[in-house]
Amino acid sequence: MTELKYPYRIRLPKYMGRAIKDTRNKKKMTQSDLADITGVSVKFISDVERGKETVQMDKVFDLARALGLQIYLTPDPLSPKG
């Protein structure tokens, strides 16, 4: 896996999972460590890191916050103007 460069553009769930996994690994945390901090299951973290789609966005935001990741939304300059 190539090293992520930040800011990292997230367009699909798999990209969010990759950013979470990359940051967790850089912090030398296990999935179990992150689960203990956030109160979610190791299976949930594994699913997110593999890019499985979820509607439990609050938990995904908890993972990002626990890892010190910030999420920004910006308009895509290539999108049609509405």
Tens digits of per-residue pLDDT, 21-43? Answer: 999 999 999 999 999 999 999 99
The answer as to whether 45 is a domain residue is yes
Q: Are 23 and 60 in contact (CB under 8 A)?
A: no
Contacts of 81 (CB under 8 A, 6+ apart): none
Amino acid found at 80: P
Q: How many domains does the chain have?
A: 1
- pTM as predicted: 0.84
Task: Find the domain containing 62 and state its range.
Answer: 13-66
For the chain, what percent of residues have pLDDT higher than 70? 93
8 within a domain of the structure (yes/no) = no
Has residue 73 been placed in a domain?
Answer: no
* R_g of the chain computed on alpha carbons: 13
The whole-angstrom separation of Cα 67 and Cα 82 is 35
Q: Which helix (H) or strand (E) holds 42?
A: helix 42-49
